[in-house]
Chains A and B, each alone.
Chain A
Amino acid sequence: MDNEKIDQIVDKYHGEPSYLIQVLLDIQSEHHWLPKEALERVAEKLNVPMTRVQHIATFYKAFSLVPKGRHEIHICLGTACHVRGAPRVLDTVQELIGIKPGETDLDLKFSLQTVNCLGCCALGPVLEIDGKTHGKMAPAQMAEVLKNYE
């Protein structure tokens, strides 16, 4: 991520330090993770201490300090999905791609994360891959769904 892009994002929020979280969210969604250099640039541009930037980047779940895979899998473990069998879906996915929640595989193909509610409870168990929602998932379907991602 080059500094020019970061500066653009910071300027969008008029360099206001209170927009720190929004700036980091924009970088995260553009770049999929927050490299150390990007954090340093943000700290400098917004004129806030690096410790505070790091505090924010580690406190909120949306941020990642390590590179992400090409496809991001979010498995919903909200209450409604939980009672409808989401933990078994999670187990199957972990087995299929060989990583645990919070991890990315070595080929940078998949990143796996669990979330607490996607708000699509009628379709539980739900998972989201690259923003596309897959509803009413059964463990047996997972291999078929994941096959579509390269």
Chain B
Amino acid sequence: MARLQTPAELEELRKQILSTRDPNKPCITLCSGSACNASGSREVAAALEEEIAKQGLTTDVDIRKTGCHGYCERGPIIVIHPEKIAYFQIKPEDVPEIITETIQGKKVVERLLYTDPATDEKIVHEHDIPFYKNQERIVFGSNSSVDPKSIDDYLAIGGYSALAKALSAMTPEGVLQEVKKANLRGRGGGGFPAGVKWEGTRNAADPIKYVIVNADEGDPGAYMDRSLLEGNPHAVLEGLTIGAYAVGAHEGYIYVRQEYPLAVENVFTAIRQAEEHGLLGENILGTGFNFKVIIHQGAGAFVCGESTALMTALEGRAGEPRPKYIRSNIVGLWGRPSVLNNVETWANVPLIINKGADWFTAIGTETSKGTKIFSLVGKITNTGLVEVPMGTPLRDIIFKIGGGIPGGKKFKAVQTGGPSGGCLPEELLDLPVGFDELTKAGSMMGSGGMIVMDEDTCMPDVARYFLEFLTDESCGKCVPCREGMRQMLKLLTNITKGKGKEGDIELLEQL
């Protein structure tokens, strides 16, 4: 592949890719994210390839192994295009029937369809299923249509057009203003406006600056960042490169957990492909802008998700946070101005550049714009990743999309914001989700984990569980965290074992 020299050449390549693709040719997309792989998606892929060859259809049918579709409860999932027939929980032995009936015979295999539990009706198309119907998948949606290992797939859906637009038709200042106007707030938990953070770095005097992707998704129960990186790594790279252009950085880092091997692998591939295409490296698209990206693997420490700790880890030291008298966007990695944003935040950037800040701000609430991906897990019927506009009430997410609590049990609480967040009971279910709304209710947005608990879940035990987690993960630098939590854990463990004493609860409140 020769490097693309101009934005026009990129468009030419895109046209060429699209012209070789017949939208009416049958294409089987198979979810190959980590969760589906664990449910046997690799075996299904092998069976599909074998059966298609056996029936002599190799040139007539495409197979695309995509990233996570989000509906992990029902994996492995396959969707057959162009009709968009969705089959769930596929086993290798179902494959011959699918090829014979649906691909050859154009008939639907009833028993593999989704059954609506409310009406008992079979649903043929993915977009009619309640789980998908009530979502707005602007960031996560592309996951189900691209093979993460194929840059052509990403280009076919308009990939890197935002980068081309930014580099050729916008000034760095213009890109920055657009992101600022969109009021894109950090999806990793803090909710700090990305535009303001970028501006600080851009205006800093030091000529060497860095941009960083935080993919050290540490909150248990949250896995949207992994699914994005695994399923659509080019979107994150494109966002990062646009950010680098806006702030004037020429080097970027992706800090990704070593526990996510598939994400690491797909990002490596994506960087290599982008470099070969001239979308990364020296003189990107002939515009004179240089940018390279380096991957660092995290070695397992919850605290490294914190921005300053992550930066010390990138420097090859133990990840301990430092006090933030001076923000890291002024003095960050190697003491230079550094913009660190979460995976999902970066993935939003190309959309904002392509569609404009006004489009973005039309979605969401007064202070929280756009959408947010939540991972809906725990005691819930439809476990998976859901993307909804900010401001959607919790009740809609849990009951309309999530399908409520399985087994006819009663809802007790939903835990948001990871271990440092909080639990929201039934009476707060009509709360619209947004950064400020959740904080006001005593919890927080965090990275978007939502763990649903039913009547059987013991709340003191959950509290003890989180304390145990945090005590274990405390880096030990500051006394209140290191010593305070140890004492709290001791008290609470006694209480959950029925050995609590009078005064324990008061002491806990004090702590």
B316 in contact with A19 (CB, 8 Å): yes
Least CB distance from A61 to B in Å reads 3
Is there a chain A Cβ closer than 8 Å to B314's Cβ?
yes
The interface size bin for chain A is 35 or more
Is there a chain B Cβ closer than 8 Å to A38's Cβ?
no
- The 9 sampled A-B contact pairs (Cβ below 8 Å) are A59-B301, A60-B301, A60-B319, A117-B218, A119-B35, A119-B259, A121-B378, A122-B72, A133-B34
Cβ contact of A121, chosen from B218, B223, B259, B469, cutoff 8 A: B223
B35 in contact with A25 (CB, 8 Å): no
B interface residues (Cβ-Cβ under 8 A, vs A): 34-35, 37-39, 72-73, 75, 217-223, 226-227, 258-261, 296-297, 299-302, 313-319, 375, 377-379, 383-384, 415, 419, 449, 451, 453, 457, 462, 465-466, 469, 473, 475
CB contact under 8 A between A56 and B261, given known A80-B221, A135-B39: no
Docked complex: A78-128 residues within 8 A CB-CB of B: 78-84, 115-124, 126
CB contact under 8 A between A60 and B223, given known A118-B259, A120-B34: no
CB contact under 8 A between A83 and B35, given known A25-B299, A119-B223: no
Cβ contact of B316, chosen from A18, A63, A131, cutoff 8 A: A18
A116 in contact with B38 (CB, 8 Å): no
Q: How far is the CA of A128 from the CA of B497 in the complex (A)?
A: 30
A117 in contact with B34 (CB, 8 Å): no
Cβ contact of B318, chosen from A59, A78, A126, A134, cutoff 8 A: A59
B72 in contact with A123 (CB, 8 Å): yes
**What residues of chain A lie closer than 8 Å to B457, measured between beta carbons?**
83
Is there a chain B Cβ closer than 8 Å to A35's Cβ?
no
Q: How far is the CA of A13 from the CA of B37 in the complex (A)?
A: 31
Give the A-B pair count, Cβ closer than 8 A: 130
Of the candidates A18, A21, A77, A78, the one having the most CB atoms from chain B within 10 angstroms of its own CB is A21
A interface residues (Cβ-Cβ under 8 A, vs B): 17-22, 24-25, 48, 52, 55-56, 59-63, 77-84, 115-124, 126, 131, 133-135
B469 in contact with A116 (CB, 8 Å): yes
Least CB distance from B177 to A in Å reads 34
Q: How far is the CA of A48 from the CA of B316 in the complex (A)?
A: 10
B301 in contact with A131 (CB, 8 Å): no
Cβ contact of B220, chosen from A59, A62, A78, A133, cutoff 8 A: A78
Query: Of all chain B residues, which has the CB nearest A114?
Result: B472
Pick the 3 closest A-B CB pairs, nearest first: A78-B220, A122-B72, A61-B300
Q: How far is the CA of A6 from the CA of B351 in the complex (A)?
A: 44
Least CB distance from A18 to B in Å reads 4
CB contact under 8 A between A117 and B219, given known A79-B415, A79-B465: yes
Query: Of all chain B residues, which has the CB nearest A87?
Result: B465
**What residues of chain A lie closer than 8 Å to B221, measured between beta carbons?**
78-80, 117, 121
A79 in contact with B315 (CB, 8 Å): no
Cβ contact of A62, chosen from B34, B258, B469, cutoff 8 A: B258
CB contact under 8 A between A119 and B34, given known A56-B318, A63-B299, A79-B449: yes
